[in-house]
Structure formats: C-alpha cells, structure tokens
C-alpha cells in the first residue's frame, strides 16, 4: 500500500477501501452500493467514519446520494487519462483503441481517455503535464525512467493498487516486474522486450547468405556484415543500422548487448558504477572496429526502421515491439521478410541481452489510483486483453505463466523467448541514471566517432559518474 494511504486518517483509509471494493466488484453507473450500516460492519468502524468516507467519494464524483434511497454509483463513468506513444503510428493507434474498447466493454464504470505522445517526446510531455498539475492517471514509460520520475514524487508505489495475483505472476526480479526506486516498485512491465538482432531476409538472400542456427559468434557476425558490405558497396544497402539521435540515449543502449557479450556494463547489480571496467574497454574496442569495418547506416530510429523495411539494411538491434511496426511499414506478416536471431556471442559465452521493457506507472497526482490499478491489471494480466495486445505488438507477456500459451508459439516469439533466457535489466534504480546516460553517451560518441582513447575516456567519465551518483 502507498505510504500516504497507510498513514492516512482512518476515514481516508476507509474511503480507499470502499473505492477498491466498488472497483474490484465492477459496480456499474447507477448501481446501489452496500448501506452505511453494512459498510461499518464490514470494516469494523463507526457510522461517522463511513459517512466521512462516503462524503469524500461523493465530492469526487464517484458516488451520489439519493435522499431516502441510499448511495449509488454516479451515473457518469470514472474517466482515466492514459499517456502513451503506442498510437504514434496508425497500426499502433488501431491496436491501442481496440484494447481500450475491449477493456471498457468489461468495465462499464471506467472510461479511458488517451493522451497521445511520441516516444522521443514522452518524457518532456510527462514532465510538462506533471508540472502543470495535469498529470495523467496512467503513464506509459520505459522501465529505466522509473527512478527519475519516482524520485521527484511524480509516481505512486504500485503494490497497493495492483492485484496480488498479478504481482505474483511476474518474474521474481523486481526490475522484470517493471521499475524500482529505493527498493519499491513504481512501474510494472507492459510486456517484456529483450533486445535482439533483427535480420532482413531479403538483403541476406540477395547477398547469398543463409543463417542457420543462432547465435553467431561476434567473428561470424562481423564476417557476414563485411560480405554484405562488399556486395552492396555501389548501392544504398547497408549491413547494420545504428541510431544516432542527439536527444536520445537509445543508440547507446542498443550497443549494450555487444558490451554484455564481453561481460561489461555501466552499473553493476550492487549499483556501483563500473564504466571503465576491462570488459567495457575490450567491448568498446570491438564495437569501434566493427563500425569502421562495416558498411553502417547511421540515422534516427524512425528512418532506420523505414529503410530496414525497404530492404536497405541487413541487421538492426531492436526490441520485441518491432513486429507491429515492421508489419505496418511493409503491409505483410513479420516472418515473410524478417527474422529474429540471437545476439552474437564472445568466446563461447551464452547470447546475452538486456530488457528494455515498456512499463506502466500510476501518477501520484491521480485521484483515481484504484481505477488506474484495475486498468493496468487488466491490460497486463487478463489473458484475453493481454494476449490480444502482446501477440499483436510482439511483446512477450509480463505474466511468466503465459509464455507457453498458444499465441506465443510462432517462430518470432520462440526466438525472443530464447533471448529472454539470458536477459537482464540494466540497473537504473539511482535517480541520477537518466543524467548519467547523457555523460555515458558523450563518452561513447567520442570513442566510436572521434577515435578518443577508450581507457582515458572511460576513466574520465567514471569519475564524473561517481560524483553524479554519490556526490
């Protein structure tokens, strides 16, 4: 339960308990709720406390009192605002609207109003809404952003608003449940998305390359990319695509799987900055050689996907959401033109990656947190709703018990499930993680594109990262 609820006056606690009861039991507009006497008996409190709680729910517009008849659900539905970038493309918008329609059909007292945004602008849009006192009830974010927003008091702890069954069905690692700050869960994963290599079948076929089993070794992957580059030297085709947006850290994180292959990372499991570790030095040296030796397309995220769909790029590193995006761009099923292969390995180690999970958070400004919890519960854990969404978009279900269900038995999902087996979450629990990524991104750009001395650059940035993290 949220700390603010746990230590609230008794009538506020009872108000939340009543609200939870009527939301959980799906009371529709105009339905009568139990009498004040029954509620007092149920919660073991006085009639005065019950009446105070009901008065607040009436003031909030959730309930209405009819003289001599009792207390009823308000005739109007409870409106929840939902900030999301899924609708930034037509296919995503259609999927999101269909999901909301299905939810509203089974929850007659809740109305979902979507606040559209785009992925590159989600953080600034959410900050603007929070600063203006107009935060959405539910925010669609990615897990690594959680500590940043939670540390400023913008998010509510979700444990008190989600069902115990939902939380218990998720992975035991809290960051696979979503995002944490100070050991508390402030967002829950809206599908799991281990980053992996996406291969373009058409480019590989034209280059005379057939990939059998994966994972490839880093050497084998480099050789394939060089061969593609030699075949495409006089064309618009490229072997690999890398996102170089100046206002995003996505390009940095898309390279993270290559560093993990060497055993490197930015922050270890204990939260210590390990940016200048020997494994990172070796990993960055390999990535720099790879980019120099490979015909690489450097562009923004959206342009890369469009060029990939037009058969101009052989390989991209991307997440499980790529399924519906490429299906929209090509108008054809994903498997016809593309395939998922495991990330390359180094010295016989397993194929490793990290999860860049979409996540859902409840904003602390929301006056409808329990309703928001019902919505999140439904779209992440209800089999009918979540299977529709995950199987359509390509995300793996956040409920671990659904991974073996029929919708996730295709070649596409099997590949991502294999990648998930050796996936981890980046340690982003420090509130300064987002600012730290800006420093890390500066170092990586200098290493990869300006031939900076790798060890010197990593040592310098680690010094500043430690100051940022620990003061």
Q: Which class does domain 3-73 fall in?
A: mainly alpha
What is the C-alpha to C-alpha distance for residues 145 and 430, in angstroms, rounded to an integer?
A: 10
Counting other chains too, the contacts that 281-285 makes at CB distance below 8 Å and 24 or more residues apart are: 281/454, 281/455, 281/458, 283/258, 283/259, 284/259, 284/444, 284/447, 284/448, 284/454, 284/458, 285/454
One-character DSSP codes across 204-251 = HHHTT----SSPPBHHHHHHHHHHHHHHTTTSS-EEEEEE--TT-SHH
Residue 172: the pLDDT is 65
| pLDDT of 206 over the 90 cut | yes
Domain boundaries along the sequence of the chain: 3-73, 78-193+356-424, 196-354+432-470
pLDDT band at residue 8 under the 50/70/90 scheme: low
| Range of lowest pLDDT (103-107, 137-141, 424-428) | 424-428
Residues in Cβ contact with 446 at an 8 Å cutoff, skipping those fewer than 6 apart: 452, 457
What is the C-alpha to C-alpha distance for residues 240 and 293, in angstroms, rounded to an integer?
A: 11
| pLDDT of 121 over the 60 cut | yes
| pLDDT of 26 over the 70 cut | no
Asked whether the beta carbons of 120 and 248 are under 8 A apart, the reply is yes
Asked whether the beta carbons of 142 and 357 are under 8 A apart, the reply is yes
| Range of lowest pLDDT (83-97, 152-166, 334-348, 360-374) | 152-166
What is the C-alpha to C-alpha distance for residues 292 and 281, in angstroms, rounded to an integer?
A: 17
Q: Do domains 78-193+356-424 and 196-354+432-470 have the same CATH topology?
A: yes
* Third-level CATH fold of 196-354+432-470: D-Maltodextrin-Binding Protein; domain 2 (3.40.190)
C-alpha triplet 464, 466, 470: angle, nearest 5°? 125
pTM: 0.86
Residue predicted with more confidence, 20 or 3: 20
Residue carrying the six token digits 């108008």: 331
Buried/exposed 325-342: b ≥16 CB within 10 Å, e otherwise:
bbbbbbeeebeebbbbbb
One-character DSSP codes across 391-453 = HHH-PBPSSGGGTTSGGG-SHHHHHHHHHHTTEE-----STTHHHHHHHHHHHHHHHHHS---
| Range of lowest pLDDT (92-101, 192-201, 311-320, 428-437) | 428-437
In the predicted model, what is the mean pLDDT of the chain? Answer: 89
Residue carrying the six token digits 């979409």: 358
Q: Which class does domain 78-193+356-424 fall in?
A: alpha beta
3-state secondary structure of 10: helix
Residue predicted with more confidence, 327 or 173: 327
């Amino acid at each position: 339960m949220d700390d603010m609820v746990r230590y609230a006056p008794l009538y506020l606690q009872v108000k939340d308990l009543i609200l939870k009861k009527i939301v959980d039991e799906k009371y529709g507009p105009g339905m009568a709720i139990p009498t004040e006497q029954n509620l007092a008996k149920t919660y073991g409190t006085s009639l005065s406390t019950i009446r105070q709680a009901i008065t607040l729910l009436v003031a909030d517009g959730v309930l209405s009192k009819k003289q001599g008849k009792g207390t009823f659900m308000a005739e109007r539905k409870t409106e929840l605002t939902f900030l999301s970038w899924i609708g930034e493309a037509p296919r995503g918008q259609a999927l999101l609207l269909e999901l909301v329609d299905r939810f509203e059909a089974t929850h007659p007292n809740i109305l979902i109003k979507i606040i559209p945004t785009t992925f590159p602008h989600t953080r600034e849009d959410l900050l603007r809404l929070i600063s203006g006192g107009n935060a959405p009830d539910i925010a669609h974010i990615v897990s690594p952003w959680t500590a940043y927003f939670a540390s400023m008091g913008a998010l509510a702890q979700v444990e008190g608003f989600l069902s115990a069954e939902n939380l218990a069905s998720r992975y035991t690692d809290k960051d696979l449940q979503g995002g944490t700050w100070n050991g508390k869960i402030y967002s829950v994963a809206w599908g799991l998305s281990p980053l992996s290599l996406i291969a373009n079948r058409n480019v590989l076929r034209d280059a005379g390359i057939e990939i059998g089993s994966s994972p490839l070794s880093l050497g084998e992957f480099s050789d394939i990319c060089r061969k593609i580059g030699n075949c495409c030297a006089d064309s618009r085709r490229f072997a690999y695509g890398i996102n170089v947006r100046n206002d995003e850290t996505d390009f940095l994180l898309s390279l993270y799987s290559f560093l993990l292959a060497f055993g490197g990372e930015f922050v270890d499991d204990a939260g210590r900055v390990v940016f200048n570790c020997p494994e990172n030095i070796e990993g960055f040296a390999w990535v720099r050689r790879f980019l120099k030796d490979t015909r690489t397309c450097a562009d923004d995220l959206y342009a890369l996907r469009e060029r990939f769909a037009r058969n101009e790029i052989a390989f991209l590193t991307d997440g499980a959401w790529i399924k519906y995006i490429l299906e929209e761009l090509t108008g054809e099923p994903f498997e016809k033109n593309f395939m998922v292969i495991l990330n390359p390995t180094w010295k016989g180690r397993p194929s490793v990656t990290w999860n860049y999970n979409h996540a859902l958070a409840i904003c602390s400004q929301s006056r409808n947190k329990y309703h928001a919890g019902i919505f999140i519960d439904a779209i992440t854990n209800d089999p009918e709703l979540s299977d529709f969404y995950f199987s359509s978009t390509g995300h793996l279900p956040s409920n671990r018990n659904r991974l073996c269900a029929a919708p996730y038995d295709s070649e596409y999902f099997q590949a991502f499930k294999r990648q998930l087996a050796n996936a981890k979450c980046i340690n982003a629990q420090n509130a300064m993680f987002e600012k730290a990524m800006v420093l890390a991104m500066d170092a990586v750009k200098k290493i990869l594109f300006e031939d900076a001395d790798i060890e010197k650059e990593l040592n310098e940035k680690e010094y500043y990262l430690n100051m940022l993290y620990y003061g």
